[in-house]
């Protein structure tokens, strides 16, 4: 079942998109490791209408982390 936020903000044109969302929700019910939460959060952003901005932000964060 999709929330109002999900209906408004997510593109779910294919069955696989709904499958991804379902699996995300199932995983979020568990006590996840910090790293796993971060990955789930990133995967969730890929369902957004504007999926590129969160991806660029995540990459910028990694670049800052590994900046030499």
3-class SS of residue 47: coil
Instruction: Say what the pLDDT of residue 65 is.
Output: 92
pLDDT digits (tens, 9 = 90+) for 2-48: 889 988 889 888 899 999 999 999 999 999 999 999 999 999 999 99
Q: How many Cα atoms within 13 Å fall on the side-chain side of residue 13?
A: 4
Instruction: Say what the pLDDT of residue 11 is.
Output: 85
The residues, ordered by sequence, that sit 6+ positions from 27 with a Cβ below 8 Å of its Cβ are 36, 40
Instruction: Say what the pLDDT of residue 32 is.
Output: 97
């Amino acid at each position: 079942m999709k929330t109002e936020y999900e209906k408004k903000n997510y593109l779910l044109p294919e069955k696989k998109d709904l499958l991804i969302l379902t699996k995300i929700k199932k995983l979020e019910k568990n006590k996840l490791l910090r790293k796993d939460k971060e990955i789930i959060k990133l995967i969730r952003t890929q369902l957004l209408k504007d999926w590129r901005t969160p991806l660029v932000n995540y990459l910028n964060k990694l670049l800052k982390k590994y900046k030499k």
